[in-house]
């Protein structure tokens, strides 16, 4: 461990100080919202919390996806899809 610390301090002094436990991280720079209007930028994400492996109930699973508009901050579409691999 001491050898690794010595090498890190010699070759990567800023990286060592930034990653040291207890070191305060710099805040995330926030900027003004930049969107031209409705449906200009849509974000999407999938949630596997109700998926087949997460539920651990055999072939039952509810994969959920969400789509959110940046300008209006509205959730535009949030379908729950079936798992086609286990429908037969």
pLDDT digits (tens, 9 = 90+) for 42-71: 888 777 666 766 677 777 777 777 888 888
In a domain, 65, yes or no: yes
In a domain, 32, yes or no: no
Q: For residue 19, is it left (φ>0), alpha (ψ between -120 and 50) or beta?
A: alpha
In a domain, 75, yes or no: yes
In a domain, 33, yes or no: no
Tell me the C-alpha to C-alpha distance, in Å, between residue 78 and each of 18, 35, 64. 39, 22, 7
**Mean local confidence (pLDDT), 20-36:** 79
Quote the number of domains for the chain: 1
In a domain, 30, yes or no: no
What pLDDT band is residue 83 in, cutting at 50, 70 and 90? low
Give residue 58's domain range. 2-25+38-86
- Note the pTM of the prediction, 2 decimals: 0.43
In a domain, 16, yes or no: yes
Tell me, what's the pLDDT at 18? 76
Residue 35: how many CB atoms within 10 A of its CB?
12
pLDDT exceeds cutoff 70 at 81:
no
């Amino acid at each position: 461990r001491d050898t690794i610390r010595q090498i890190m301090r010699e070759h990567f002094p800023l990286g060592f100080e930034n990653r040291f436990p207890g070191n305060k991280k710099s805040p995330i720079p926030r900027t003004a919202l930049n969107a031209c209007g409705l449906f200009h930028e849509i974000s999407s994400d999938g949630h596997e919390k109700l998926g087949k492996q997460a539920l651990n109930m055999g072939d039952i699973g509810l994969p959920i996806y969400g789509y959110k508009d940046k300008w209006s901050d509205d959730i535009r579409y949030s379908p729950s899809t079936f798992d086609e691999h286990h429908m037969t």
